[in-house]
Amino acid sequence: MRTPFSSSAHRLKSFAARAIGAVAVAGLAFAAQPAMAAPKKEFKVAWSIYVGWMPWGYAADSGIVKKWADKYGIKIDVVQFNDYVESINQYTAGAFDALTVTNMDALSVPAAGGVDTTAVIVGDFSNGNDAVILKNKKELSAIKGQKVNLVEFSVSHYLLARALESIKLKERDVKVVNTSDADMVAAYKTKDVTAVVTWNPLVSEILADKTAHNVFDSSKIPGEIMDLMVANTDTLKDNPDFGKALVGIWYETTALFTADTDAGKAARAAMGKASGTDLAGFDSQLAATKLFGKASDAVEFVRSPAVGTTMDRVRKFLFEKNLLGSNAKSADAVGIALADGKVLGDAKNVKFRFVDTFMAAAADGKL
């Protein structure tokens, strides 16, 4: 059962569906209590509003979740959170078996907190949904010396770092101003704010102002801001049918809403409404998203060297920001297992895993 948004402020806040690991890491390193690993029949999935995760709510509402759960003789409760960070906290504490989360936040919160976590589905990557926006300036180089408003330690912070790197600048060349996503649009309208980094739908809303210019966005770093469905590794090991059900749900739903049919249009309209926009708004956000609607495409991506390259950048960024735990002595502190068999960091402390197992089963028609 999904909880509808009660206000636009909640809607904006939940679009942090990509945001913050910092506060959560500090609070969760204490108590990462993995879900009890054992064969079971009932599972809980946490998700929050973002264009790439809307299919989970739609699948629950339309009966697709129940269909696949019934196929494997299990029950899957898909729960919407209006607060993305809280959904991560709940998963990390063991209250949920699976979670929609970005690659960066999966590493910085549950994995760094000691919860062995597996990326069951690489659903998409941001391909323009996240952007650096300058007021009355059309070149990224103009950012030097400016105050930059963004959600600190979020994927926006990471995007800023990559943008600065592209023009041989460092974070010390700007001043980061931590700003809530709920306040970002209003902040941009003030005289003192001249640079922001944020995500859709806030990007679209800010760019509607004639003074606003997109000077760098996630399409310049394709594949680096991934949106995932992750699950507790031990739970998956003991309950592989849960993983199969998740991929079955995902690929049936994506096939439906990406189809050029009346049913596909109706599904997108429903997801747009549920996320606080309309069909046109949802389609525009979808256009800035590289969706892996076909399992074979997701398998090809997760097996590619690009994932290792990205996660190496991400872990180094997180270590620099002290987001891999207070005891981390280097970026190697938390091991990351890749689908090609390689391990980044401590092979004796692998807590984040990319696998092709379940997506490949879907691609091969073996669910």
In whole numbers, what is the pLDDT of the chain averaged over residues?
90
Q: Can you tell me the distance from the alpha carbon of 28 to that of 23, in angstroms, rounded to the nearest whole number? A: 9
Tokens 């943008």 map to which residue?
A: 163
Q: Torsions phi, psi of 365, nearest 5?
A: 70, 35
Contact status, residue 289 vs residue 124, Cβ threshold 8 Å: yes
The predicted-structure confidence for 62-102, as pLDDT tens digits, reads as follows: 999 999 999 999 999 999 998 888 999 999 999 999 999 99
Phi then psi for 65, rounded to 5 degrees? -60, -50
Categorize the per-residue pLDDT at 24 as very low, low, confident or very high, splitting at 50, 70 and 90: very low
* CB of 104 closer than 8 Å to CB of 158: yes
pLDDT at 36 (0 to 100):
53
Cβ 204 vs Cβ 75: under 8 Å = no
Chain mean position to CA 186: 24
**Percent of all residues in the chain with a pLDDT value above 70, rounded to a whole number:** 90
- Terminal Cα distance for the chain, rounded: 26
Amino acid symbol at 172 = R
Cβ neighbours of 182 (radius 10 Å): 19
**Taking a C-beta distance cutoff of 8 angstroms, is the pair 148, 192 a contact?**
no
pLDDT tops 50 at residue 241? yes
The answer to whether 337 touches 343, Cβ cutoff 8 Å, is yes
What is the rounded distance in angstroms from the CA atom of residue 94 to the CA atom of residue 345?
A: 25
**Helix (H) or strand (E) run with residue 42 in it:** strand 42-48
At 266 the three-state DSSP class reads helix
